[in-house]
Amino acid sequence: MKSKLIILVMMVLIVLSFAVAEVSALSSEESAANDILNKNSTDSKVLVVYFSRTGDNYNVGNVEVGNTAMVASYIKEYLKADSFEIVPVEKYPDSYDECTKKASQEQKDNARPQIQGKIANFDKYDTIFVGYPIWWGDLPMIVYTFLEDYKFDGKNVIPFNTHEGSGDAGTYTKIQSKLPSAKVNTNGLALDGKTARSADGKQQTIQWLKGLGY
């Protein structure tokens, strides 16, 4: 009886440990991206700023590293640049539907959602890559917060984005008109979510960077 109970307890523990592993499992690509994004090299003049959502996402399932964050990691790795993630003070819902509702309301309100933390020494960077997903045919409103929070005079700004069909949705020229004192490169990179997460997406990103002269 006692040994049966021990076996039962062990089986429950094994099942539970699999369940925990499932919940916290990062794919190897995601964990590589996290490693890259969480390190900053101090003497770089290039900064990769990105906003990207985790959770339930269109066409790619439930992700722990967002599509745009994956592309940001390729740029950061290739250029050995610094990076800053735009993290909202109020987290967006993990549920895709809930998030679309919230984003739609923010757009109607012309909201400026607050960002956690500040970029140290923004002045020292001469080139800022700015990455984001298309939300309702536009930049997520929190990216407008970022564009308004810093001085971009004379800086090179290079946008990139991910999407599910809208391409860049005219956002590169919107950034240019928002930042008249910066040099915005409207030859940005727009990748759909699945491509952004693939080896092909990484190659396309590197080709794009080479095309920009890097």
Give contact residues for ligand FMN (rule: CB under 6 A). 52-53, 57-58, 66-69, 96, 99-100, 103, 133-137, 162-166, 193
Q: Please, which residue, 77 or 85, has the CB nearer to ligand FMN?
A: 85
Burial class for 73, CB neighbours closer than 10 Å (0-12, 13-18, 19+): buried
**Residues 102 and 93: beta-carbon distance below 8 Å:** yes
Gap between the Cα atoms of 156 and 128, Å rounded: 6
Q: Please, which residue, 33 or 99, has the CB nearer to ligand FMN?
A: 99
Backbone phi, then psi, for 83, in 5-degree steps? -145, 155
Bridge partners (DSSP) of residue 48 are 83, 129
Nearest approach in angstroms of CB 136 to ligand FMN is 5
DSSP secondary structure code for residue 88 in this structure: B
Q: Please, which residue, 98 or 126, has the CB nearer to ligand FMN?
A: 98
Nearest approach in angstroms of CB 110 to ligand FMN is 16
Gap between the Cα atoms of 211 and 109, Å rounded: 38
Q: Please, which residue, 41 or 173, has the CB nearer to ligand FMN?
A: 173
Neighbours of 202 (CB within 10 A): 20
Q: Please, which residue, 54 or 156, has the CB nearer to ligand FMN?
A: 54
Nearest approach in angstroms of CB 212 to ligand FMN is 21
Residue-wise DSSP of 5-58: HHHHHHHHHHHHHHHHHHHHPPPHHHHHHHHHHT---TT-SEEEEE----EEET
Nearest approach in angstroms of CB 138 to ligand FMN is 8
Nearest approach in angstroms of CB 161 to ligand FMN is 8
Nearest approach in angstroms of CB 98 to ligand FMN is 9
Q: Please, which residue, 71 or 128, has the CB nearer to ligand FMN?
A: 71
Gap between the Cα atoms of 205 and 3, Å rounded: 58
**Residues 176 and 145: beta-carbon distance below 8 Å:** no
